[in-house]
Amino acid sequence: MNITVFQYPKSKHTRSLTPRLFKRYQTYKRYLQHEFSRTCVYCRQPDSSAPNLNFGVDHYKPKGVAKFAHLVCDYQNLYYCCGSCNSRKNNDWPVNEKDGPYIVNPCDYIMSQHLRFDAGNGMMTVRSKFGEYTEELLLLNDHTQVEFRKTTLHALKLTAKELASLQDQKAQLSKLLADHKITAAVHDAELNELNNEINLTDTLIQNLTGTKPPLPLKKMRFGVALS
């Protein structure tokens, strides 16, 4: 099971996709979802665990700051970001560009040197001045988010146990059939039910951890989804 949920990357991210230039920056959202493993780069929440959080495109150098207007569709300036972080970040940009403080992003910074997820209490702990600035501005330790992280980890623990138990029941079922204690029809019906439960549990784990693969990009043409 993926236990890296909510953890900040330990190395800088090098972009792997090179989408062509689109007229609308929103078109890059699908690329960014793949590029950043469907997780908000700032608060580390996977989009699949909160489908109503309105994930979208963040302009690191804000599009609302006149001198960055030309970067509105520059892929290198775009990040995958949840609605909360996006609106809290807004047009933030340091007056003193030499010293900052800057919000940390995964391409220019080693995120884990600035912020760290504490699985014990669900909090994002700060490890640098920029990390502290990011945590304060984006309210990374907002009570509801901390609780969400804690309950997600708990749900993952429970689902892992459930999955082990379902696999165990499956093994017992084959043994019952091998020992001629149940008919093939009963075996098949129960197996079908168990497989359905295993699939649902797998999907739940994938949604909570953000490991469910996003829809493939090849279904895009000229920036428009074909399906």
Binding residues vs Zn ion (CB under 5 A) = 40, 42-43, 82, 85
Minimum CB–partner distance for residue 82 and Zn ion (Å):
3
Residue 43 or 124: the one with the smaller Cβ distance to Zn ion is 43
By C-alpha distance, which of 190, 151, 192 is closest to 200?
192
Residue 19 or 46: the one with the smaller Cβ distance to Zn ion is 46
Minimum CB–partner distance for residue 140 and Zn ion (Å):
8
Minimum CB–partner distance for residue 219 and Zn ion (Å):
26
Residue 32 or 85: the one with the smaller Cβ distance to Zn ion is 85
First to last CA, the chain: 31
Residue for token digits 């960014």?
32
Residue 116 or 170: the one with the smaller Cβ distance to Zn ion is 116
Minimum CB–partner distance for residue 41 and Zn ion (Å):
8
Residue 159 or 207: the one with the smaller Cβ distance to Zn ion is 207
Minimum CB–partner distance for residue 176 and Zn ion (Å):
48
